[in-house]
Amino acid sequence: MRLVIALPYVWLATFFLLPFALVLAIAFGTNNPDAVPPIDLGVSLKNFTLLFTDDLYLAAWLGSLRIAATSTLVTLLLGYPMAYAITRARPSLRPLLLMAVILPFWTSFLIRVYAWMGLLSSNGILNQFLRNTGLVADPGTILGTEWAVHLGIVYAYLPFMVLPLYASLEKLDTSLLEAAADLGASPITAFFTVTLPQSLPGVVAGCLLVFIPAVGEFVIPDLLGGTDTLMIGKVLWDEFFLNSDWPLASAVAICLLVLLVGPIALFQRQQAKSLERQ
Amino acid sequence: MNAQPIVSIAGVSKRFGAIVAVDGVDLDIRRGELFALLGGSGCGKTTLLRMIAGFETPDTGRILIDGQDMAGVPPHRRPVNMMFQSYALFPHMDVAENVAYGLRREGLPAGEIARRVGEALDQVRLADHGKRRPAQLSGGQRQRVALARALIKRPKLLLLDEPLAALDRKLREGTRFELVRLQEQLGLTFVMVTHDQEEAMSMAGRLAVMNEGRIVQVGTPHEVYEHPRSRFVADFIGIANILPVEGGRAWLALRPEKIALFAARPNTDRAEQGRIVDVAYEGDRSLYRVGLVDGSMILVSTANVAREPREPWPRGQEVWLGWANDAGQRLNE
């Protein structure tokens, strides 16, 4: 019995706390290209001070936050009507529609992002279609722009928005909407005064589920974005693999984590609150 | 006083798939009355109420409210308000916001809304609960918030869907009187749906008994109880002995309290001999099941006027039953 209870703690300690402690230790070390691994351990704040003084990192952070925020907003605006439509569909149709939302997960994330490269490249399917139909004579290339990064994030994270929204909209008591109508609210007013406030827990959960991973996203900006797309996940990768600067990469990782602790805590609190209400 | 009925329902039917929920209902509801739609579950009473509110559309027939045809008028444009069975209070708003909801939709100035919400909360004795959330209230308080919210727009017609069903028994009895008092004070028309015949009888000025989507009888509680028109009504309202008469071509509905017990043959209009099979002592009255000589069973009730009755009728006792010729109602159907 005790073993069963201890198991999650052992798991967390081995695969989360221990690696985190390692990363933290490395972040305070200094880069030494001649050592294997290329670090000299120590207590140096050099890496952190660099992060706050070099404009590149600040720009990458702000870029990540901005791209994650706009993508989250677009995902919300697309996901809300989808989730709403599913709750209003015939009950027999709902599992099918939900399945359609989850279906992309059956294919590897990486392969789906590669597929977007094929769609968006200068000789990709989209541009060929535009040229062949004569709609646009000389279409520019979407691949390698921030547009493509947004598109990729919205596409990849849409299910994480739709599912919590569906869960909270599905719980909505329809007699509340009837009461609103009975008291003189048009369907649109009833939506904004009853449906939307009642689905706020779903909105918050969905937004955080999209925003938190999107901030640290690396694959999508790397494959779909261009050299000018600055996101912190990509900077981290570059520091580690291209510059082999493990301490600096670790410092970036620590800062990223600290940056996201706020939203994650908010998400946890909100989940706990909605559990309590049930 | 306007003689035109506030609600006029003509030839209204509604089916859901293969189920006929409401089947050719004609009904007029008078201005200022407390009217009850009474019936068992699935009799169509709630569907009828929801059609008046506009949540369901009749397949056939017309509903006029205050002389206006309601066809194509959505719920939010109808001059009626409804108190829902579940109360349907908005959980994300406090009590005052719930009550103010209808007035805010009318775009009234904030000062007037606050004043009227205060009055409405006073009226239901919840003046100091305005800032509470519905989840923080007791069942009875929630019911009063729902009532205040439905009344604040001063509707011509208030619809109440099982208004007392969610309350416990003690509270229900007090609330009955309160609703009737409020209805009389405000001079509004109340239409209430209930499955509880005692509730309908004690509150309503007139009631309609429904069965399988049809209205089987409309009348005052007294008319429906003492002059039922069918075996269904006689059996549904209160307890009735239904005896075949005229060789089985008609029936007599005889209420248990209209029959008296005698030790020897009485000289009442009708007299039958039997034996007491069962006694149910209910405190205020006792109910006897009496087996007659011909094998049929008759229910008799006596009011327990004295604390220690002179003639306790034990099980197995030979008795005579007596009643007057006009004690029962002759039924053709």
Q: What is the per-residue pLDDT for B69?
A: 95
Secondary structure (DSSP) of A208-255 = HHHHHHHHT--HHHHHHS-TT---HHHHHHIIIIIS--HHHHHHHHHH
* Average pLDDT score over chain B: 92
CATH architecture of B7-232: 3-Layer(aba) Sandwich (3.40)
Q: What is the per-residue pLDDT for B2?
A: 60
CATH code for the domain defined by B254-331: 2.40.50.140
Q: What is the per-residue pLDDT for B311?
A: 75
Q: At B299, which helix (H) or strand (E)?
A: strand B297-303
Distance (Å) from the alpha carbon of A199 to chain B's nearest alpha carbon: 10
Q: Which residues sit opposite B278 in a β-bridge?
A: B289
Mean local confidence (pLDDT), B22-47: 94
Match 């019995």 to its residue by tokens. Answer: A1
Q: What is the per-residue pLDDT for A278?
A: 53
Give pTM, 2 decimals: 0.82
DSSP state of A91: T
CA atoms of A114 and A222, how far apart (whole Å): 11
| Closest CA in chain B for residue A183 | B102
Report CA dihedral (B140, B146, B150, B152) to the nearest 10 degrees.
80
Contact A225/A146 with Cβ under 8 angstroms?
A: yes
Cβ <8 Å between B81 and A183: yes
Q: Where along chain B do its domains lie?
A: 7-232, 254-331
**pLDDT tens per residue, range B173-191:** 888 988 999 899 889 999 9
Nearest to B92 among A181, A183, A197 (CB): A197
**pLDDT tens per residue, range B265-292:** 999 999 999 999 999 999 999 999 999 9
Distance (Å) from the alpha carbon of B293 to chain A's nearest alpha carbon: 56
Tens digit of pLDDT at every position of chain A (278 positions): 788 888 889 999 999 899 999 999 998 988 888 877 888 888 888 888 888 888 888 888 899 999 999 999 999 999 999 999 999 999 999 999 999 999 988 999 999 999 999 888 888 888 888 888 877 777 777 888 888 999 999 999 999 999 999 999 999 999 999 999 999 999 999 999 999 999 998 999 999 999 999 998 888 998 998 877 888 888 888 888 888 888 999 999 998 888 888 888 888 887 787 766 65
| Closest CA in chain A for residue B54 | A182
CB pairs under 8 A between A and B: 60
Contact A221/A229 with Cβ under 8 angstroms?
A: yes
pLDDT at B1 over 60: no
Q: What is the per-residue pLDDT for A98?
A: 94
Q: What is the per-residue pLDDT for B95?
A: 96
CATH superfamily of A2-277: MetI-like (1.10.3720.10)
Q: What is the per-residue pLDDT for B196?
A: 92
CB contact, 8 Å: A193 with chain B? yes
Nearest to A178 among B55, B80, B149 (CB): B55
Q: Where along chain A do its domains lie?
A: 2-277
| Closest CA in chain A for residue B102 | A183
Residues from chain B contacting residue A186 (CB–CB below 8 Å): 76
**pLDDT tens per residue, range B207-258:** 999 999 999 999 999 999 999 999 999 999 999 999 988 888 899 999 999 9
pLDDT at B65 over 80: yes
